[in-house]
């Protein structure tokens, strides 16, 4: 996986505005007033590397694991994806914020990273759906942002030296370095309890019918029986678009907190069980893993991202931390059951060790960049999972068929 640009590229020193490049904070006709205080800020990695920028949003100091994502679009979905909870998220896209923030694309109620690091941005977003500028959105949610950063150099540094803890803010380099070095590692950290829902609820909203792509989903759905299936979805940090996709394919979705016991799920008598994405180390997410293990064979199970890792651990497969993870919209994966190559949306820093698969468990998908395990299936227990995001919000829709595969598993199970 390569980062865009060259290590020697100069840092971004301006923030782009409508019609021209202007120093951050200046105003052109039609723009809203700039914030009254625009402070220099910086990101300091635990290894001592310093990256200068200009503060956006909150000016407090925060820590988190510095990671990068290569997606060129969908920054609002990325910002609100709970899988990024407590991370310092670096966007490799050269310009972020030009379409503003809208009311439809949020995947959760608020931004999830502890800090959002970008290169160029704008003070005057332009899009027919935009209701708020990116910097105002970050400020309203008290999220630390940093713009005008040399994200090319930062991305290459993370790629070469690995994801590591960082501190971001307007404090001194010495203060931020101390914070970064004292911050707990992502390895061994359980974060699901911070992002899961407090109470169970039913989700009934499908994808917007105005979307041209919905014709594809409804066509695929027309080939399946009209019977609806009640699905229990474990919320380990679930995205709204995942829930919409389940509804699109004819599921009545009941979302439950991450630590819901297996007995409560059995009492709901669902047609299938969905294991969502989420943040943190799967090895530290022990209670949900034990629940998944107890539910194996009860009903068909479909897991994605963290759900894939928890299913693997329930099947006695270990997980391990990747050097810098897979995050972006362009990850190539081969479906070993069909030979088909998919371009997928991914966001994870851990992977499943597939070197010694238990009896009855097969690897179904492989990452073509590094050969890591991207999918598993245990046919005897009617359980399967993938490491990526088939709902792809944002991203390519190559993997939507997996929701159809889930429906087929539930139909076969009933027989």
**∠ Cα 230 80 374 (to 5°):** 65
Q: Residue 84 phi/psi, 5° resolution?
A: -95, 10
Give the C-alpha separation, 84 to 237, whole Å.
Answer: 9
Of residues 286, 279, 295, the one with CA closest to residue 233: 295
How do strand 115-117 and strand 144-147 relate by DSSP bridges?
parallel
Active site residue 348: no
| One-character DSSP codes across 71-111 | -SS-HHHHHT-GGGTTEEEEE-SSB--TT-B-SS--SSSS-
- Cβ count near 212 (within 10 Å): 6
Contact of 311 with 317, CB cutoff 8 Å: no
**176 three-state secondary structure:** helix
Rg (CA), the chain: 21
Q: Residue 245 phi/psi, 5° resolution?
A: -65, -40
Of residues 79, 186, 76, 52, the one with CA closest to residue 125: 76
**267 three-state secondary structure:** helix
Q: Which residues contact 94 (CB under 8 A, 6 or more apart)?
A: 4, 12, 119, 120, 151
- Beta pairing partners, 62: 168
From the list 326, 348, 365, 389, the catalytic residue is 389
From the list 305, 342, 365, 367, the catalytic residue is 305
Sign of the CA dihedral running 298, 302, 307, 313: positive
From the list 77, 374, 377, 391, the catalytic residue is 391
Burial of 65 (0-12, 13-18, 19+ CB in 10 A): buried
Active site residue 391: yes
**∠ Cα 182 320 296 (to 5°):** 120
Active site residue 389: yes
Q: What are the CA-CA distances from residue 233 to residues 8, 202, 239, 242 (Å)? A: 46, 10, 11, 10
Catalytic residues, by residue number, are 305, 389, 391
């Amino acid at each position: 996986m390569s980062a865009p640009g060259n290590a020697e590229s100069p840092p971004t020193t301006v923030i782009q505005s409508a019609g021209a490049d202007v120093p951050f904070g200046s105003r052109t006709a039609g723009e809203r007033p700039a914030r009254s205080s625009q402070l220099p800020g910086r990101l300091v990695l635990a290894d001592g590397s310093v990256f200068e920028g200009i503060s956006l949003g909150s000016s407090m100091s925060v820590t988190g694991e510095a990671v990068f994502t290569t997606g060129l679009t969908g920054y609002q979905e990325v910002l609100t994806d709970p899988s990024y909870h407590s991370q310092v998220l670096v966007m490799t896209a050269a310009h972020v914020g030009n379409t503003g923030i809208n009311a439809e694309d949020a995947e959760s109620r608020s931004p999830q990273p502890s800090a959002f690091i970008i290169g160029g941005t704008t003070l005057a977003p332009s899009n027919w759906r935009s209701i708020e500028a990116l910097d105002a959105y970050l400020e309203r949610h008290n999220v630390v942002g940093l713009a005008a950063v040399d994200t090319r150099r930062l991305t290459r540094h993370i790629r070469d030296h690995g994801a590591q803890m960082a501190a971001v803010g307007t404090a001194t380099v010495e203060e931020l370095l101390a914070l970064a070095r004292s911050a707990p590692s992502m390895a061994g950290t359980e974060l699901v309890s911070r992002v899961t829902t407090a109470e169970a609820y039913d989700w009934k909203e499908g994808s917007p019918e105005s979307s041209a792509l919905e014709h594809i989903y409804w066509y695929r759905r027309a080939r399946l029986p009209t019977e609806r299936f009640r699905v229990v979805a474990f919320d380990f940090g679930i995205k709204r678009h995942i829930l919409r996709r389940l509804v699109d394919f004819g599921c009545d979705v009941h979302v439950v907190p991450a630590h819901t016991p297996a007995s409560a799920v059995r009492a709901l008598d669902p047609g299938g069980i969905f294991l969502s994405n989420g943040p943190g180390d799967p090895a530290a997410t022990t209670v949900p893993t034990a629940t998944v293990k107890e539910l194996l064979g009860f009903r068909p199970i479909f897991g994605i991202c963290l759900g894939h890792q928890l299913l693997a651990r329930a099947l006695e497969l270990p997980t391990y931390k990747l050097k810098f993870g897979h995050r972006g919209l362009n990850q190539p994966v081969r479906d070993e059951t069909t030979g088909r190559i998919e371009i997928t949306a991914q966001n994870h820093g851990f992977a499943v060790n597939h070197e010694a698969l238990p009896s009855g468990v097969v690897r179904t998908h492989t990452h073509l960049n590094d050969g890591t395990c991207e999918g598993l299936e245990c046919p005897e227990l009617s359980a399967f999972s993938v490491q990526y995001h088939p709902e792809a919000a944002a991203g390519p829709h190559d993997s939507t068929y997996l929701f159809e595969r889930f429906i087929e598993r539930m139909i076969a199970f009933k027989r």
